[in-house]
Amino acid sequence: MPPHRMPPSPDGLAAQIEALLDEPTTTHGLGRALRAAAKEIELYRYHRAGSRAWPDGRIDAVPSKIQIGGGAHRIDGFLNIDAVPPADLLWDVREGIPLHDDTVRVLFSEHFLEHIDYPRSAKHYAREAHRVLAPGGQVVTGVPDAAFVLNQYPADPGQADEMIERWYAKRDCLGDINTYLDLINYVFRDQDDDPAYTPHLWAYDHEKLVQLFGEAGFRSVEPWPFDPAIANPKRQWGSVYVIAVK
Ligand SMILES: C[S@@+](CC[C@H](N)C(=O)[O-])C[C@H]1O[C@@H](n2cnc3c(N)ncnc32)[C@H](O)[C@@H]1O
CA of 199 to the centre of ligand 1 (A): 11
CA of 45 to the centre of ligand 1 (A): 16
pLDDT at 3: 57
133 and 163 inside one domain: no
Domain containing residue 23? 10-51
* Nearest-angstrom CA–CA distance, 16 and 68: 32
Spans of the chain below 50 pLDDT? none
67 and 139 inside one domain: yes
- CB-based contact 71:82 (threshold 8 Å): yes
120 and 220 inside one domain: yes
pTM exceeds 0.85, yes or no: yes
62 and 46 inside one domain: no
135 and 225 inside one domain: yes
Nearest CA residue ID for atom 6, ligand 1? 70
Q: What is the DSSP string of 196-223?
A: T-PPP---B-HHHHHHHHHHTT-SEEEE
pLDDT at 224: 98
- Give a yes or no: residue 2 inside a domain: no
Nearest CA residue ID for atom 3, ligand 1? 111
Domain count, the chain: 3
CA of 217 to the centre of ligand 1 (A): 24
178 and 219 inside one domain: no
pLDDT at 177: 74
> What are the CA-CA distances from residue 172 to residues 100, 117, 142, 203 (Å)?
42, 26, 25, 23
- Which residues' Cβ are closer than 6 Å to ligand 1? 69-71, 73, 82-84, 92-94, 110-112, 115-116, 198, 232, 235
Amino acid at 112: F
- Residue 217 sits in a domain whose CATH number is 3.40.50.150
